[in-house]
Amino acid sequence: MAIESLNPTTGELLRSFPEMGKDEVDRILDAAVRAQKAWARVPVAERAVPMRKVAALLRERAPELGRLAALEMGKPVKDGAAEAVKCAWVCEYYAENAGKFLAPRPETSDGSKAYVRFDPLGVILAVMPWNFPYWQVFRFIAPHLMAGNGGLLKHASNVPQCALAIEKLMHDAGFPPDLFRTLLVGSKPVRGIILDPRIAAATITGSEPAGRAVAAAAGEALKPSVMELGGSDPFIVLADADLDQAAKVGAVARTINAGQSCICAKRFIVESTVYDAFLSKFTAAMQAVKVGDPMQPGTDIGPQARTDLRDEMHELVKQAIAEGARPAMGCTLPAGPGAFYPVSILADVKTSNVAAREELFGPVAVVIRADSADHAVQIANDSRFGLGASLWTTSEATVERLVPRIEAGAVFVNGLVKSDPRLPFGGVKTSGYGRELGLEGIRAFVNVKTVWVK
């Protein structure tokens, strides 16, 4: 089986790579275990040296990395370059803070001394998606290599060149060559790799079905795992919100990365007294988003990453319309080459509609009417997902009252949901478990070791 890199703008085959066989994966695993055992003995301050170097290389190579992402998954070049720069930020953040996060913590006990250590677990398998081909990987690399672990990357099969570019960055920065490697394999071998005793833990960012498969394998092997899965994030607009700002930010929140993000705003839940006014302003903001060639600097969003994913999403849109949603904008499959889809709005959506129940992974906004603020939160929570949520109100009292009731891993008030190296990131319900980033992220795959001394 070949791992193919296809240009979603043109459909052109860019490159093809042979899938690694079991013997090659075994050799990489053996070498990674040896490299990690040596790396675990390297002081944290010394681990930070290549981590800072890879940050510098990410900034230096941002333009070419942006171009590569545009070619492989359709992200506009400026956005791909910005993504690489954000990866540099997370590397610098953990290079600066890992020593503090991993420092032994003194505790009181009946011994003469007691403390808690945070020791690495070993080699971690990261199963990563195509939508942010650099950021998703580096938010794994930065904390867990600084913690003393090793890493193996099973990237999405449609971005092999991005995966190999990450491996080269790590090697060029001076990390031990076998400490981080890319595995060019499909999904079938993943279960066996997780079950392999040389793998200490697994993390995945991806779809709900993929997460269930990885979690099942990790559970069978009694290995820790972190799941960052799908989302149908609510964007709650209350009657006292700044509607102009909410509409402007909402258009970005729905269409960033062509709507292909777990934390994109997907369900716009609007209090009835401002529903029509918001929809009008939101439609104008969505109409201003420019869809086009991702290689051109003026493009806001490019094509969807794959034609099959675009077509699957359109089937959900058609079903939503058949169930009573009103196509207020777009919602038609364009003719011509490429995996393009128009910026779209489904209005007057009922909570029973498929568009309100499933994750639409593309630039399609779902607008739902709520009778009150309390009803809006009820609608927001009426989902199997619980990744992020955005709440729009000018009342601090409303924020204090509603935020504890919103079932999500993060709530951003008067702003779009985003990931930040300083803040823990993850979800609840079928959006996953565990946390990346922040203090919690670096401690996700460590042995929390109690030491008691008499």
| CB neighbour list of residue 83: distance below 8 Å, 6 or more residues apart | 65, 66, 69, 75, 132, 133, 134, 135
- Say what the pLDDT of residue 1 is: 75
**What HEC string does the chain produce?**
CEEEEECCCCCCEEEEEECCCHHHHHHHHHHHHHHHHHHCCCCHHHHHHHHHHHHHHHHHCHHHHHHHHHHHHCCCHHHHHHHHHHHHHHHHHHHHHHHHHHCCEEECCCCCEEEEEEEECCEEEEECCCCCCCHHHHHHHHHHHHCCCEEEEECCCCCHHHHHHHHHHHHHCCCCCCCEEECCCCCCCHHHHHHCCCEEEEEEECCHHHHHHHHHHHHHCCCCEEEECCCCEEEEECCCCCHHHHHHHHHHHHHHHHHCCCCCEEEEEEEHHHHHHHHHHHHHHHHCCCECCCCCCCCCECCCCCHHHHHHHHHHHHHHHHCCCEEEECCCCCCCCCCCCCCEEEECCCCCCHHHHCCCCCCEEEEEEECCHHHHHHHHHCCCCCCEEEEECCCHHHHHHHHHHCCCCEEEECCCCCCCCCCCECCCHHHEECCECHHHHHCCCEEEEEEEEC
Residue 348 Rama label (left phi>0; alpha psi -120 to 50; beta): left
Nearest to 274 by CA among 266, 286, 282: 282
For domain 2-230+429-453, give the CATH number.
3.40.605.10
The closest of 406, 370, 412, 363 to 385, measured between CA atoms, is 406
Structure token pair of residue 297: 């600097």
- The token duo for 288 is 């201003």
Output the tens digit of pLDDT for each of the chain's 454 residues: 799 999 999 999 999 999 999 999 999 999 999 999 999 999 999 999 999 999 999 999 999 999 999 999 999 999 999 999 999 999 999 999 999 999 999 999 999 999 999 999 999 999 999 999 999 999 999 999 999 999 999 999 999 999 999 999 999 999 999 999 999 999 999 999 999 999 999 999 999 999 999 999 999 999 999 999 999 999 999 999 999 999 999 999 999 999 999 999 999 999 999 999 999 999 999 999 999 999 999 999 999 999 999 999 999 999 999 999 999 999 999 998 999 999 999 999 999 999 999 999 999 999 999 999 999 999 999 999 999 999 999 999 999 999 999 999 999 999 999 999 999 999 999 999 999 999 999 999 999 999 999 9
Q: For residues 67 and 146, what is the distance between their CA atoms, to the nearest angstrom?
A: 29
pTM passes above 0.85: yes
| Residue 286 burial (10 A CB sphere; 0-12, 13-18, 19+) | buried
Fold entry, domain 233-382+388-413: Aldehyde Dehydrogenase; Chain A, domain 2 (3.40.309)
d(CA 55, CA 182): 19
* Lookup result for tokens 């060029």: 172
Give residue limits of the domains in the chain: 2-230+429-453, 233-382+388-413
b (16+ CB within 10 A) / e for 149-170: bbbbbbbbbbbbbbbbbbbebb
Distance CA 256, CA 263 (A): 10
pLDDT at 76 (0 to 100): 98
For residue 396, count other CB atoms closer than 10 A to its CB. 9
One-letter amino acid at 436 equals E
C-alpha closest to that of 144 among 29, 74, 47: 47
Q: Which amino acid is at 305?
A: A
Q: What is the C-alpha to C-alpha distance for residues 314 and 308, in angstroms, rounded to an integer?
A: 10
**Residues labelled catalytic:** 228, 262
